[in-house]
Structure 1
Amino acid sequence: MAQIQMKHVSKSYQKQAAVLNEISFSVEKGEFFILVGPSGCGKSTILRMIAGLEDITAGELYIEDQLANDLLPKDRHISMVFQNYALYPHMTVRENVLFGIVQKRAISKQEKKERLEKALELVQLQDYADCKPRELSGGQRQRVALARAIVSESPICLMDEPLSNLDAKLRSQMRTEIRQLQQQLGLTMIYVTHDQVEAMTMGDRIMVLNKGSIQQIGEPIDIYNHPANTFVASFIGSPQMNFIEATVMQQYKKSYLNISSQLSIPISFFPNKPKYIIGIRPEHLRLKGNPEDIQLNVIADLVEQLGNETIIGFELEGQKWKAKWNGQWTIRANEPMTLYLSKKEMYLFDADTHERLFYSYKDGQREKGGIIV
């Protein structure tokens, strides 16, 4: 049963184009659901509409099967963690955590105390109850905001880019802690981010947004392996997928996708358009290959040694490309090198719509893919 459901929801402001267009999705009870996309795509607006902080222009929002379009925020049983933590500087950690429930007469003083102790223990802030926010680090302030959501005991928790103000090491630590808390408490969590690493490592499912429209919904690894279009393919994955235009060429009753003098790919389908877009992930360009692999002779104009991986940049037909390998490789810039590419690891997209095309075969079954076979 869906705990949250949006049906054909749109949002627009006066004299402005629509911020959201016909958004429809559902979130199951206990699910960690990620909204990901570039700045301005409508992620936070969706979150604020669920919380009741923004009106819905058109469409329907259901919470626990109840129409919630006009439901007051306090009646939605939802907690929210903001990007800037939203802590009161004059209050102690204890007072900040209890702020949301302090006026609720239905909750006894003893129960409030028990909830506070449990929440502070979960976020490891037992020793900071009497501190003010200015005495805390960024990570500790974020934990206070989490404790405030926990103490409300709301079954649904919304998070709006909660880790964006933290450094890389702390973000990694907090990702793990938030995921563990969500699972431990059985929360239904909707989490907004523009960081694809957060999306890939934390979510049960991801919804990718762009310009107010849903691009794709699915499990993280599914979206990575089977992107719906060039936007999803470029947004999920680092470095992003390489793209290049290919022209159909007929020769000796066979069809080829021609990219350059050194890259012409035989295809097993009947092409119905003169041009396509080929996508290749950087990690699929290898330094060693098989006899049937396609070979690319390139000159690396960029070498990035990151310790755990090596990234090179090169140019192909005027396009900037990147290749990536695990480990440390001794590669010098401006020296010629050969890269190997399997045809089975190439994605094909419509040059007009940018949607992924064609089918691949897995275990004898035909399944929609994006890989040329």
Structure 2
Amino acid sequence: MASPLGLTIKTNLESMGVGDCIPCRYTALTSGAAGYFSELGTCVANEIPVTGTATPDGLFYLIKTAKGTLIADRVIQTSISWSILNTAKYIEGNPMKETNALPVMTSNTNPIGKVTASSIYSSDYDSYLAFNGSIDEYGWISKAAATISSKQWLQYEFSMPISIYSYEMVARKNNDAPKDWTFEGSNDGTNWVILDTQTNQINWSTTIYEKRSYKFTNIQDYKIYKINISSQNGYAGYVGIDELYMYKKDTQYKKFRSLSSGCAYLDVSGNSSLTNKSLGAWPPTNEWDKYIINSDLKGKVTKGDDNIWHYKINNSWCKDTPLNGGWNSGLQTATAANSTRINRGNAFSSTWPDLNLSTSTVIGSTLGFRPVLNYVESDIASEVIY
């Protein structure tokens, strides 16, 4: 797996220093709808194209720029509005209190743990394919003509007991998704505790890979977790699951949000200005100018290197609303209003700050979401890695 311009790839946040990167997955299978993040540090999927896509499902890199802060190396989703991102809490960010506990499985026993099932249709639909991180036409399917009265099940065994308190299921869009089931935990594979019961889960989409989430109360650690299926939707031949995710509590309280970009021009005294003084953006600590344009990340990159940040291809939605009457760039004749939102980056930027101002509902094929990841990083960790 090649990293951006030779940066060191890390597999966990604790080992990262400024200028290192970590892979992550982002999935948004419907244009104009916000997606979700997964596989931080473990993603091996194909990359999201740096040229942009409205329906991404793949890998991108987060580059560490400061303590507890990582910025994406590209716009990961185009054709999505600021308003939609804000509704999804991707503008200011919403702390993630859970993280996927499952690795990306490449077989029933690799890289760690063990996947088993009541039956499989064929090796093309083996049980581990519901845990391989790939949303596609495959996944796990039970034996053909399997009688649901005997119950079909799919389970994952961790290397050590762990507390799971929620799970997500992605259907195969083939009308074979589970309808009634229990989600159970065990430490010996014989004695099971029912943690969640679902009934009449119907009307799964047959046109998109639909994902549904289920939460329950659990403070116990179990080594094995199983979905025990008693009936399925529509199709009588078998039951199938495209992907299954299991979540544990996240003690680092990670959150994904959008970049800060400044909201006015900077004057010689370090104050805001409504006219361009050719001194940059105010406040000068905004992440776009401070890191993407003006930082060498402790000597690991060239300042403003587009091979690292890919900012000349697509504009990035930013958090900021411009000061009313300010930041009227040479690209526009309209005076900035606080009903607009700032987005930065394009192929013609030669002086900084440059910007575009768009209403929050605008959707553009070269305008989209470049995430920032914040997480709680201890002072002890920072002393070690900086």
TM-score between both structures, scaled by the size of structure 2: 0.29
More helix, by proportion: 1
Structure showing greater Rg: 1
User: Does 1 or 2 have the higher relative contact order (CA < 8 Å, sep 6+)?
Assistant: 2
